[in-house]
Chains A and B, each alone.
Chain A
């Protein structure tokens, strides 16, 4: 479509130019309007160059516009589809070996789901690692580098540090700024609900600030070992200038019952 309108405009300009040129020519032969379908006119080299450059600039503008559409819409479509698929697979695996009782944690497909009712009503699949490739599937990843996350399932003190996209690729942490102190963060595994309470928020920090991932994140105000959770994503929205950090502390662990009844925070 763009090509046709482009062409129309250019044609118009060419005709305009020509009319101006023709005012110098003898009056008798100059038609008031150049008839349609005249053989291609000779454009000055400069005019030609200008029109090509103009068209290239318009094209560049359209491509940039499309890139915005791609980043903010299409990557979400693709990522949500992928995340749903992977999430379903994890739930299927859980359902299949329900009767075998608690077994070794399978970290291959995803270790569980994150529920943050104040941020999103969707569940977020959690997988191992924070590589771009993994996070682009619309999941949250727990850190293995530079500071290794301590999984709550291990039962040890430490920090369960997670990252997910703020915009595009599922944008799972898009509304992280809606989380307030005291809000619940629930991590669901096959056998347990880990209910965390948010106690500290750092709205902006350097992307090199790896101390926020420490087993005892001092910046959050806690000095003693405990069982913490850390959510990290980029901020301000649509950029990656800084990082937004939310810290929570384990409140309690609930056993999953036969009907997978939600803990009261999620009801």
Chain B
């Protein structure tokens, strides 16, 4: 999978490394900004109130 991505990136090794880094950062951004905030309420780690439901 990663090998496939690497082979399909343009440029020499340095350019590929830079693009990979940029892609990795983009993935982290999307996770922190959209995926984790969506997933968090579905997981049982952060309920602090007492309630009757």
Contact = CB atoms under 8 A, between A and B. Distances in A.
B17 interface: yes
Contacts, number: 99
B7 to A, nearest CB: 8
Contacts of B40: 71
A2 B6 CA distance: 11
Contact of A1 (B5, B24, B45): B24
Given A4-B20, A10-B3, A207-B51, A240 B46 contact: yes
A165 B50 contact: no
Contacts of A233: 48
B49 interface: yes
Interface string B24-53: 100010011000100111001111111110
Contact of B45 (A56, A71, A74): A71
A71 B52 CA distance: 26
A145 interface: yes
B39 A67 contact: yes
Contact of B6 (A3, A146, A238): A3
Interface stretch (A23-31, A166-174, A259-267): A166-174
A77 to B, nearest CB: 10
B45 A238 contact: yes
Nearest to A141: B49
Interface in A1-41: 1-4, 6-7, 10-11
Contacts of A1: 20-21, 24
Interface in B1-25: 1-3, 5-6, 17, 20-21, 23-24
A74 to B, nearest CB: 6
Contact of B1 (A55, A63, A66, A143): A55
Nearest to A75: B40
Q: Which of A6, A205, A209, A213 has the most CB of B within 10 A?
A: A6
Contacts of B1: 51-52, 55-56
Contacts of A51: 1, 3
A212 interface: yes
A163 interface: yes
Given A1-B20, A238-B45, A212 B50 contact: yes
B47 A207 contact: yes
A167 B47 CA distance: 10
A209 B40 CA distance: 24
Contacts of B20: 1, 3-4
26 contacts: A6-B2, A7-B3, A11-B3, A51-B1, A55-B1, A66-B28, A67-B31, A70-B32, A71-B40, A71-B46, A74-B32, A143-B49, A165-B48, A166-B48, A167-B46, A168-B45, A173-B48, A205-B50, A207-B51, A208-B51, A210-B51, A232-B48, A234-B46, A234-B48, A238-B45, A240-B47
